[in-house]
Amino acid sequence: MQRYFVSKSNWSNDEKVTITGNDVHHITRVMRMDVGDKLICNHPDGRAATCIIDQLVNDSIIVSPIEWRNEVVELPINVTIAQGLPKGDKMDLILQKGTELGAFAFIPFQAERSVVKWDQKKIAKKLERFNKITKEASEQSHRTHIPPVESIYSFKQLLDCSEKYDVKLFAYEEEARSDSFRRLSDVLNEIEPTQRILACIGPEGGYTIDEVDALKLAGFHSVRLGPRILRTETAPLYLLSSISYHFEELR
């Protein structure tokens, strides 16, 4: 069944839901649904209900919740991916796949070796597109939460905001070659449900020595993601998959 995220103001006491915006086009034109058809509406608080279409108005659709769904599709821990700005359209891939794999939020940051520098004028437009990608990927993967994509942080802003997190990690390519790495499983074993994790991924060229020192000083643990060298866009997918496996599939 197709799934749509509906903002809080469009829910009238959980009895009527009004769908507006681009979703109206998707429901009537792409999915060709009509009165009496069913779809799933996600409430921003994480709940979801199967709904039936009551009425098609010009630019909105009125639906009624007929059953609240009992779903556990969100990771038991909150993982925010801080991604050093990568080249080209790799950020799109990270956002789409990272959302499917359960990320809680994304923070793109300007790393010293990030080749791209984002034009201030284009940031608003890019963020709009990024948040559209995570919304669509949430719907497609049947999630109940849409991971927000923050505006671009400087490295200093990233360090400052890291204080809000319970556990801080960074994937460090050099760890893959050393014997002194901290095992990812040792880190994950210490995490309690509902804790907030900030996982930092370097850009294509990796971190500079100064960045590594600053991350360690700020309390980030370096981890390796297997013994092979991963591209910057593959690293967050490995990390999120392993976290899902550890908390959702392992026993």
Instruction: Kindly tell me which residue out of 26, 69, 142, 196 binds its own copies, with binding defined by CB under 8 A.
Output: 142
Instruction: Kindly tell me which residue out of 25, 125, 132, 183 binds its own copies, with binding defined by CB under 8 A.
Output: 183
Q: How far apart are CA 194 and CA 208, in angstroms?
A: 32
**Residue 184, phi-psi category: left (phi > 0), alpha (psi -120 to 50), beta (remainder):** alpha
Q: Is 100 in the site for its own copies (CB under 8 A)?
A: yes
Instruction: Kindly tell me which residue out of 7, 12, 22, 185 binds its own copies, with binding defined by CB under 8 A.
Output: 185
Q: Which stretch binds its own copies (CB under 8 A): 36-44, 79-87, 210-218, 239-247?
A: 239-247
Q: Smallest distance from the beta carbon of 106 to its own copies, in angstroms?
A: 16
Residue 85 or 223 with smaller CB distance to its own copies: 223
Residue 24 or 75 with smaller CB distance to its own copies: 75
* The token pair that represents 218 in the structure block: 């700020």
Q: How far apart are CA 91 and CA 84, in angstroms?
A: 9
**Secondary structure class of 94 (helix, strand, coil):** helix
Residue 141 vs residues 31, 107, 123, 176: alpha-carbon distances, Å: 17, 21, 27, 31
Using CB under 8 A as the binding criterion, the count of chain residues that bind its own copies stands at 35
Q: How many CB atoms lie within 10 A of CB 175?
A: 19
Q: Nearest-CA neighbor of 155 among 192, 208, 119, 197?
A: 208
Q: Which stretch binds its own copies (CB under 8 A): 9-17, 147-155, 204-212, 220-228?
A: 220-228
Residue 46 or 226 with smaller CB distance to its own copies: 226
Q: Is 230 in the site for its own copies (CB under 8 A)?
A: yes
Instruction: Kindly tell me which residue out of 2, 60, 195, 241 binds its own copies, with binding defined by CB under 8 A.
Output: 241
Q: Which stretch binds its own copies (CB under 8 A): 77-85, 114-122, 140-148, 203-211?
A: 140-148
Residue found by looking up tokens 């060709």 in the block: 32
Q: Which stretch binds its own copies (CB under 8 A): 36-44, 193-201, 212-220, 238-246?
A: 238-246
Q: Is 246 in the site for its own copies (CB under 8 A)?
A: yes
Q: How far apart are CA 132 and CA 23, in angstroms?
A: 12
CA 66 to chain centre: 29
What lies within 8 Å, CB to CB, of 197 at 6+ separation is 77, 78, 79, 80, 165, 166, 167, 168, 169, 191, 243
Chain residues in the site for its own copies (CB under 8 A): 72-73, 93, 97, 100-102, 140-143, 183-186, 224-231, 234, 237-238, 241-242, 244-246, 248-251
